[in-house]
Chains A and B, each alone.
Chain A
Amino acid sequence: MAEERAIPQSPLAAELGAGVRDALTTVVPSIVAYGAVWGGLARQTGLSLGEVVAMCLLVSAGTAQFVALPMLASGAPPAVIVVTTYLVNLRHYLMAASLAPAFRHLSRLRLAGLAHLLSDEAYALTQARFARRPARAAYFVGCASVIYLAFYAGAVAGALLGARIPDPKRFGLDFVFPAVFLAILAQAIRAAWQWAVAVAAVTVAVAIAWQVGGTWHIAAAGLSAAALGAWLAPAARAPETPEPG
C-alpha cells in the first residue's frame, strides 16, 4: 500500500475522478430520481423490463425517452417517434460543435465513442471545468459516463418498483438541473458581451418556450444569442477557447 501511495496519481485518473466526483455531487441524485420516474412510466406504458433496458442502452437520451412514452402509448407511427426524437435532440449538434475544439487531439474512434455519452448535464459540467482548467477529455468521460449510468440505474429501479415512485418535485429535485446550469453561468459570466449573450438567450428562449412550447427554444436561442456573442466578443482570442495544440 505504501508503495502505491508513493506513485503520484496520473493526470488521466485524476481528471477522470474529478469528472465522476463533480457529477456525483451535483446532478446524479436527480438523474437517478428522474430515471426511476421514467422507468415507472415505461412499465405503465406496457414496456417489459427487457424493453426498458434496451431503450436506455440504444437511445440513451432522457428527454427524448420521456417524450416517446405517451407517443408509444397512443400508438403513434414509428416514423413520427423517430423524427420527434431527432428534433428533441437537435441541440446536441451545438453542444458537440462547441466541445469539439477541446478534443482535437483524440483519435476519430475515441471521438465516435465519446459522442454517445453526450448529455446536457455532462456538457454543462465539462464547459464549467474547461473554462477554468486545461481541457481534458478524461474529465468529460468521467462525468458523462456516470450520468449515463445514473439514468440507466434509475430506470431499472423504477421499472422494478413501478408506481411506487414518489414525485421528485416534492423534494425540489426537478430544480437541480436549472440550478446547476445557473450556478455555472453565474461563475462564467464576467464580461459585458457575455451578459449581452445571456440576456439575448433569455429573451429568445422564454418567448419561444412560452408561445411555441416543446424544445425548440434551446436550439433557437443558442444559435441566435451565440451569433450576437461572435459579433460582440473581442476580436482577440476568445476567452473560453482552450490553448491550441
Chain B
Amino acid sequence: MRPGLLGLFAAMGVVTYLTRAPLLLALADRRLPGWLERYFAALPIALLTALAVPLVLLPDGRFGGLADGQVPAAVLVVWLARRTGNLLLSVAAGVVLVATLRAVLS
C-alpha cells in the first residue's frame, strides 16, 4: 500500500462526502419556503431524466445509432412501465432487447 495513494483516496473521499452531506444536514430540519418545496418536488424528474436520456442517446458521448439497441429498448421500457407498473419486468425486457439487437446487428 503506497501512502501517497492512500492520501489521495482519502482526499477523493472527503470531497465526495462534501457533495453528499452538507445539504442533507442543512435542509433536513427546517421548513422550506413554498417555491423551494416546489423546486425540490421537480428535482427528481429533472435529475433522473438528465441521467437517463444522454446514456441512451449518447453512449460514449456520441449518438449511438440503431445498432446500439438502446433507443428502441428505451421506448419498450417506458411503454411497459406505464402499462404494467412493473419495474423489474420493464427493465428486464429492455435489457433482453438491447442484448438481442446488439448480437444481431453487430
Please give the number of chain B residues whose Cβ is less than 8 angstroms from any Cβ of chain A in the complex: 79
User: Taking chain B's interface residues, is the majority helix, strand, or loop, or is none over half, making it mixed?
Assistant: helix
- Which B residues are in CB contact (< 8 Å) with A108? 25
- Which B residues are in CB contact (< 8 Å) with A220? 50
Please give the number of chain A residues whose Cβ is less than 8 angstroms from any Cβ of chain B in the complex: 105
Q: Are B39 and A230 within 8 A (Cβ)?
A: yes
C-alpha spacing A97/B42, complex, angstroms: 12
Choose from B12, B22, B29, B74 the contact partner of A59 (Cβ within 8 Å). B12
Q: For the complex formed, measure the closest distance between the CB of A190 and the CB atoms of chain B, giving whole angstroms.
A: 10
Q: Are B12 and A175 within 8 A (Cβ)?
A: no
- Which A residues are in CB contact (< 8 Å) with B74? 178-179, 182
Choose from B13, B48, B52 the contact partner of A127 (Cβ within 8 Å). B48
Q: Is A218 in contact with chain B by the CB < 8 A criterion?
A: yes
Q: Are A81 and B8 within 8 A (Cβ)?
A: yes
Mark interface residues in B63-77 (1 if CB within 8 Å of A CB, else 0).
Answer: 100000110011001
Question: Which residues of B (1-52) have their CB < 8 Å from a CB of A?
Answer: 1-2, 4-13, 15-29, 31-32, 34-52
Q: Are A222 and B11 within 8 A (Cβ)?
A: no
Mark interface residues in A218-245 (1 if CB within 8 Å of B CB, else 0).
Answer: 1011111111111001010111110010
Q: Is A164 in contact with chain B by the CB < 8 A criterion?
A: no
A residues apposed to B, CB below 8 Å: 22, 25-26, 47-48, 50-51, 54-55, 58-61, 64, 68, 78, 81-83, 85-86, 89-101, 103-104, 106, 108, 111-112, 114-116, 118, 120, 123-124, 127-128, 131, 169-189, 193-194, 197-198, 200-202, 204-206, 209-210, 213, 217-218, 220-230, 233, 235, 237-241, 244
A-B residue pairs in contact (CB < 8 Å), sample of 12 = A82-B11, A86-B19, A93-B22, A97-B43, A171-B95, A175-B95, A178-B55, A188-B45, A201-B45, A210-B54, A218-B50, A239-B41
Q: A58-B6, A85-B12 are in contact. List 7 more A-B contacts (CB 8 A).
A: A60-B13, A86-B19, A89-B16, A93-B22, A172-B98, A189-B45, A230-B36
